[in-house]
Structure formats: structure tokens, C-alpha cells
Amino acid sequence: MTEFIEMSVRQFVSELSGKRPTPGGGGASALVGAVGIALGGMVANLTIGKKKYADAEEDMKRLKVAAYRIQKELLALISKDAEAFGPLAGAYRMPTETEEERASKMRVMEAALKESALIPLEMMKRCAEAIDLLGELARKGSKLAVSDAACGAILCKAALQSAWLNVCVNTMSIRDRAFSERTNEEGRKLIEAYSALADEIYAEAEYDFTRAPA
């Protein structure tokens, strides 16, 4: 399988718009989240070493390391999402002529659907963590880069919501309803808490930039 994260931006977008099912919404979600938190790394780098922000130096170094880690994890999830689709696609093609074949297909499909739901849920967790970091960066980082932190938060919110849809499209078909309900509940909590937090970060930045001068 092609290693999507090694592609140029042009190549990846071309693949995304093609006929193949991967990369799809899940991979796009992870990429957008990685771009969002990359802006957090930028804010940290623009703040580190500035005398004006000496009190925040250690926080910036910590946030920079965390931002790079999340960025790397989200990029890795692009490939994991695509890899999970293979078994699911194979399950749909399995024969169903006999009772044994139908039972076998159901087992394989159930396992593949669960994996396909858990990967975007992991994306959601990383995006939630990213939004938390971007909020801290917006508060403590260079005022010249507040807009970048806010942009990052909104991108991570979009990635969070997109990943949530990819959770739901899989859990709706899972027969193990207890698993689906647990997974959906975890996703809903992340959506509710971190969509709101991203909106707060954005609104604070917008207010600062658009309020009338004193």
C-alpha cells in the first residue's frame, strides 16, 4: 500500500479525489488534525527564546514537544485508517451461500467494523488533546501568533467532527450494541467538550482582532 504521508500535498489531494476508497474521510480527518497541531508547534517556536515571554519559556518547550508528538501520531493514523479498510472491504466480498459462510462473514465483518470505528475514535482523542494544547498556546504564547493558535484549534475541531462521523458510520453497523454504545458515548463526550473549547479559543481571538480600538 502506498505510504500516504510520504506523498506531496498535490499527490495526496489527487489520491483523495480519485476513485479508490482510501485515503478517505478518516485519512483526511487525521491530516487536517496534524496540520492544526503543527500550527501549535509554530506558535511555540515563535515564542521560545523571546525575552518578553521568558516566564513562559518552559511551558513553550513542553508544549512544543507535545505538539510534535500529536502531529506524528495523527499522521500515523492516516495509514492505519487506510489499512483498516482492507479487511472490511474483504469481508463484504466473502461468500454467503451456506450457514457456515454467513457466520464466518459476520465474524470477520464485526471485527473489521470495530477496528474501523476505533481508529477514528483515536483521532478524536488526539484532536481533543491538540485543542487543549492550542488553548494554552493561545494564552501563553506570542501575541503575534494568537491567530495561528486559533486557526489550529478550528482545524482540529473540523478534524474532530470529521473523525466522529467516521466512528458513527462504522458503529451503526456493528451487531455488538454494547460496544457501539460505549464507543459512541466516548465520542459524544469528546465532541461536546472540545468543539466548545475550540469555539472559545476562536471567539477570543476574533474578539481581540475585531473589537473597536479604545
Residue-wise pLDDT for 55-79, tens only, equals 999 999 999 999 999 999 999 999 9
Q: What is the pLDDT of residues 85-143, one digit of tens each?
A: 888 888 888 888 889 888 898 899 999 999 999 999 999 999 999 999 999 999 999 99
pTM of the model: 0.92
Among 28, 7, 125, which Cα is nearest to 81's? 28
Please list, in sequence order, all residues whose beta carbon lies within 8 angstroms of the beta carbon of residue 67, skipping any fewer than 6 positions away. 37, 38, 40, 41, 44, 130, 133, 137
Report the top-level CATH class of 22-207. Answer: mainly alpha
Q: What is the pLDDT of residues 163-212, one digit of tens each?
A: 999 999 999 999 999 999 999 999 999 999 999 999 999 999 999 888 75
Kindly list the domain boundaries of the chain, sorted by start residue: 22-207
- AA letter at 170: N
d(CA 148, CA 176): 42
